[in-house]
């Protein structure tokens, strides 16, 4: 992890600032396609992405799955996905958080032939090629922290989730 992203074990302001309260979602959508379409339409309306974002993220997910199995960290941890696409489809930088009412299937990023069920999604919206790896590694570090994920599981409202994501250490 580069020093530019971490400081004494805390998320630094640049990473925290990628979360926005209006980009925290709790939804009962039931398929990957429904979630991607909803998030894509919302981001397009907000001017954060370009036309073609949803199609690109769906295509990328087929070729490079983003499901992350957190069972190796702890048996009781929910799985996550980190959908993202090429910078050319993005107008800004943000992380969109989605908490699903019920788990939906995603393919495993490490073992693409294996399916897993996912509870949380962290969409990366990024128009800067050079920062994609840092954002991804920061998110994975957060997700593989058992205490962070336990706390996230306990939160019920968008404001609570936003406050936690922007203050987690």
CATH of the domain at 88: 3.40.930.10
Give residue 10's pLDDT: 46
Q: Residue 40 domain-assigned?
A: yes
* 86 inside domain: yes
- pLDDT bin (cut points 50, 70, 90) of residue 154 is very high
Question: Which 8-state DSSP code applies to residue 73?
Answer: T
Write down the pLDDT at residue 2.
38
Average model confidence (pLDDT) for the chain? 89
Q: What is the pLDDT of residue 130?
A: 82
Q: What is the pLDDT of residue 132?
A: 80
pLDDT band at 115 (very low <50, low <70, confident <90, very high): very high
Average pLDDT on 54-74 reads: 94
Residue 11 within a domain: no
Residue 3 included in any domain: no
| Domain of residue 134, residue span | 16-163
Number of domains in the chain: 1
What's the rounded Cα separation, in Å, for the pair 97 and 24?
5
pTM: 0.89
């Amino acid at each position: 992890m580069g020093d530019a992203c971490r400081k004494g074990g805390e998320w630094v302001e640049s990473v925290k600032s990628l979360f926005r309260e209006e980009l925290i979602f709790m939804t009962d959508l039931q398929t990957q396609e429904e979630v991607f379409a909803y998030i894509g339409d919302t981001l397009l309306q907000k001017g954060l992405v370009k036309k073609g974002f949803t199609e690109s993220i769906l295509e990328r997910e087929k070729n490079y799955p983003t499901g992350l199995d957190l069972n190796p960290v702890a048996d009781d941890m929910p799985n996550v996905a980190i959908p993202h696409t090429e910078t050319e489809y993005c107008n800004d930088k943000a992380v969109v958080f989605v908490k699903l009412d019920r788990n939906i299937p995603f393919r495993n990023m490490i073992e693409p032939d294996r399916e897993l069920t996912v509870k949380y999604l962290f969409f990366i919206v990024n128009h800067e090629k050079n920062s994609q790896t840092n954002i991804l590694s920061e998110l994975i570090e957060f997700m593989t922290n058992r205490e962070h994920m336990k706390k996230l599981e306990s939160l019920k409202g968008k404001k609570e989730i936003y406050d936690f994501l922007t203050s987690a250490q």
